[in-house]
Amino acid sequence: MFKKIIAPIVVGGVLLGGVATAGVASAATPNASATAPSHAGKGQLKAWVTSHRKELRKAGLEISAKAIGITPQALRSDLKAGNSIAGVASQHGVNPQTVINDLVNAADSQINQAVPGKLSSTQAQKIEARLPARVTKVVNHTF
């Protein structure tokens, strides 16, 4: 059950807290900067996501906890108890949309950094259009 806490979001190349394109990936936190090989195909990208899942979950958990105003450990224990991120946010008087916005903004900043050389503007627009719905799904999911 613990391993399901904040699974990475992959939407047209977007990972929660980072960007992964057909070959390039970057994590949201400075400590977790790893990149997939530039020749990576779909299978290699999936392998990269699998191997960096822990870093991606940690980034999502930290962003969510900061938006709610609690520690990542407290959020993790609430999720393990069967709550959703939205439920935890509501319990602490925070609108779940605030958490969603913070997660989307973190991913958007990674997308914007990737546009000059790693993503085309068309790819970035496609990813950014899908991102809010996917993040909302994760925030409302009961783990």
**What is the Cα–Cα distance from 6 to 59, expressed in whole angstroms?**
9
Q: Which residue has the higher pLDDT, 29 or 57?
A: 57
Domain range for 100: 2-140
37-72 per-position pLDDT tens digit: 444 456 665 776 688 888 888 999 999 999 999 999
d(CA 59, CA 65): 10
Domain count within the chain:
1
pTM of the model: 0.70
Reported as a pLDDT band with limits 50, 70 and 90, residue 127 is: confident
Measuring CA to CA, how many Å separate 95 from each of 42, 102, 110?
36, 12, 24
Q: What is the pLDDT of residue 26?
A: 38
CB 110 within 8 A of CB 18: yes
Report the pLDDT value the prediction gives residue 111, as an integer from 0 to 100: 84
Higher pLDDT, 60 or 30: 60
